[in-house]
Structure 1
């Protein structure tokens, strides 16, 4: 894979996007394929959720086009389809996480690339190629601003996602290095999203806006629109504005540390090494809720399975976890399904009640179950001011008979450390598609079982429509 060395990170990233060879390792292509399957598993049933249902009558009035709207019978422009499908992909909060960027990467990249590939009549192989490239740039930029970008309240799915999508779409359009730089730079003006939106309809729309922004930025760059060269670095660049005026002090504090490769500095020398899709991988979700819950849920469920106790035997469940995780879980008394996905108290109580947590636990009628509500006061928590890599989530459980159990989980099920098998991923796909109201999954399952890189993307997307 070729590398171009330059002191300007934007130019280095753009050169790599434009010039790196398409000879990806088979393991990288396999992960990209898994990410496509997992994203479509989330996207199709997600179309019936609150935010997409409300968004659809808005976006469909903006005009039709060549790109499919999932679980609908109409098509939209490429930016419109990316907006709608990206929102669908993130609506259930069942889509994967990507640690270097601290973002839901695939819910942005896959909808953006699929929409643009349809518009360009490109094959599925171009989506895989654009995905690997977009993920790398999303990760590289994310490593330059995290962990403090996220810990200060930015939703990186909206910020880093837009930049990664622009890079992936520039790759799919085969833009040269100059235009790829303009696309990435343009995307910083379309990047945004605050954690204050968590628990609202706007949170999943962040993924849609980022996907659409990436498509728009790449198309505008192809059309000759120019953008600044100082949008990542410098006193008015993304790194300063989206971290803070103390960015250099924070970067110095990260010397000798690497939180998922995050150094608070942009690496302009070895853009493609290591390849993020292999080095870090994706966290495929076991549970349809905020990823900050997963280590605690893994721990609690493992204790229940190992020691064979029921909810009525429990005195207390105390969670000690990184403060950055617990701050994401701000809804202690959730009143909507979206809020419940960001509630430690509700989600652990639901797990105590049934022994697991699934899509049914976040239906409107489920979140007010008196049996689950009665268990919520048993859940207590301790905010630990340490990086997530420095402090595994601890579950301390006390039974009414005085017995005590505990578990420590550093990485969740679905991560590179504890991966889902292909068979488990396929089971997730089938379960998700079966939950999609009014959708017949046979055609989509057949397409995903036979993902030929040379097959037109349009053929795959036709199987996602109602």
Structure 2
């Protein structure tokens, strides 16, 4: 089959994956380094969370291989390591967000690339290159289907994550245009996941499944397995099936009002321009919970700090936020840590009580604290029918002595507009490693992450993220 038999988007994306130069700006490489540090930081304590702990005996029984698993001494096959590490990376919901795709990007891309890197003579420079490429493809396709792909209930981490991981894996493997096209196309058959899984073990599993799917698609394509040529934009392709039959009407309606470049159309020119990793950046998480909470939490904590407020000073908290954000926060009376991460009421009550929200607030024993539960009744919300770029989340505090304070947060801490600096990111790493007291390699891992030279083998890093043998 000749290259011109592919649909225009698939051909354009595959050609860019195979042929794009590696002369990335230092700013892009710096963000990629930070993404690697942040993802490994959350993977280590995440490996012992509910979903990864249950997954481990299953995936380890499938057999060993050349790829390392985080916080474990045993090794796995590349797809198995991608599955386990991806699930661990998303388990705490402390991993970054990527706006063009409306997805958790690094929790999928990094585990996929680490798993493959263990099998090849690949360097950290190869990993960063493939990460930038995979993120770009995830973003470009995400812009072609969002915001309606996500607002209609698809978990983009699971769907677009698999496609981005396939592109990144194809790049790391050095696949040509034809095989890269097959890898991207194959990944659409391995992509799936609904937002109805939020608050369950299946939600973090989505990141692992997407990472595994991307690795498998690239390895299958490398072996010569072929795939359909119109799986992105054909009448039964991803764009139509994962948005709806009204996709063209929606795209027309979006003209002139797109946010994060989401035009609802799959562009086929200038695939690498603008470069998403620098143009849009990543939202590094300040809090270990759903990103839809972060603007409200930032605003609440900012008002408390500015006015030196304590819990007893606040009678009521009203949050007015885009409906798409509040629909993600569906658990008003959470009974599990996973549900609590998707609860506006619990998370803001914990912030009112503690003056912050951290990993300890989502431990099982913390959820039923009577003093926090009592505060949940003070939290109210109002759904606003607007895009997140059209309406900044408003926080209104009614004080016990009468006055009402308010603020509005358009972009959370950790976003490009309000970035965490490198020192703050490093403190997050230290906090996460401290939350994994049985992980004995913390010092060696931090030493390795402090010197991420492009020429170092990926294997040298993955060796430090494992648990020593007994």
The answer (yes or no) to whether the contact 2:186–2:217 under 8 Å persists in 1 is yes
Please name the residue that 2:227 is paired with: 227
Please name the residue that 2:111 is paired with: 111
In structure 1, distance between residues paired with 2:310 and 2:121: 54
1:301 match: secondary structure: helix
Please name the residue that 1:14 is paired with: 14
In structure 2, distance between residues paired with 1:436 and 1:252: 49
Query: How many Å apart are 1:121 and its aligned residue?
Result: 2.7
Query: How many Å apart are 1:124 and its aligned residue?
Result: 1.2
Please name the residue that 1:93 is paired with: 93
Query: How many Å apart are 1:208 and its aligned residue?
Result: 0.1
Structure 1: gaps of 5 or more residues: none
Query: How many Å apart are 1:452 and its aligned residue?
Result: 1.4
- Equivalences for 1:244-283 in 2 at 5 Å? 244-283=244-283
Matched, 1:60 2:60: yes
- Equivalences for 1:47-446 in 2 at 5 Å? 47-440=47-440, 441-446=442-447
Query: How many Å apart are 1:7 and its aligned residue?
Result: 6.7
The TM-score with structure 2 as length reference comes to: 0.97
In structure 1, distance between residues paired with 2:191 and 2:257: 27
Please name the residue that 1:463 is paired with: 464
The answer (yes or no) to whether the contact 1:48–1:437 under 8 Å persists in 2 is no
Structure 2: gaps of 5 or more residues: none
Deviations 1:73-112 (A, max 9, x none): 1000000000000000000000000000000000000000
Deviations 1:12-57 (A, max 9, x none): 0000000000110010000000000000000011001000000000
Deviations 1:387-425 (A, max 9, x none): 100000000110110011001000000000000000000
2:61 match: secondary structure: helix
2:365 match: secondary structure: coil
In structure 2, distance between residues paired with 1:271 and 1:258: 18
In structure 1, distance between residues paired with 2:120 and 2:87: 22
Matched, 1:30 2:36: no
In structure 1, distance between residues paired with 2:94 and 2:243: 28
The answer (yes or no) to whether the contact 2:319–2:396 under 8 Å persists in 1 is yes
Query: How many Å apart are 1:318 and its aligned residue?
Result: 0.4
The answer (yes or no) to whether the contact 2:167–2:184 under 8 Å persists in 1 is yes
The answer (yes or no) to whether the contact 1:7–1:268 under 8 Å persists in 2 is no
In structure 1, distance between residues paired with 2:312 and 2:234: 57
In structure 1, distance between residues paired with 2:122 and 2:78: 13
In structure 2, distance between residues paired with 1:392 and 1:87: 31
In structure 1, distance between residues paired with 2:93 and 2:393: 20
In structure 1, distance between residues paired with 2:450 and 2:422: 11
In structure 2, distance between residues paired with 1:439 and 1:228: 44
Count residues in correspondence: 462
In structure 2, distance between residues paired with 1:197 and 1:385: 23
In structure 2, distance between residues paired with 1:55 and 1:234: 36
The answer (yes or no) to whether the contact 2:49–2:92 under 8 Å persists in 1 is yes
In structure 1, distance between residues paired with 2:258 and 2:231: 24
Please name the residue that 2:451 is paired with: 450
In structure 2, distance between residues paired with 1:191 and 1:243: 14
2:232 match: secondary structure: coil
1:120 match: secondary structure: coil
The answer (yes or no) to whether the contact 2:7–2:230 under 8 Å persists in 1 is no
Please name the residue that 1:44 is paired with: 44
In structure 2, distance between residues paired with 1:66 and 1:458: 10
Query: How many Å apart are 1:234 and its aligned residue?
Result: 2.2
The answer (yes or no) to whether the contact 2:18–2:175 under 8 Å persists in 1 is yes
The answer (yes or no) to whether the contact 2:334–2:343 under 8 Å persists in 1 is yes
Deviations 1:366-403 (A, max 9, x none): 01100000000110001111110000000011011001
CA gap 1:7/1:166 in 2 versus in 1, 3 angstroms: closer
Deviations 1:117-152 (A, max 9, x none): 111131111110000000000000000000000000
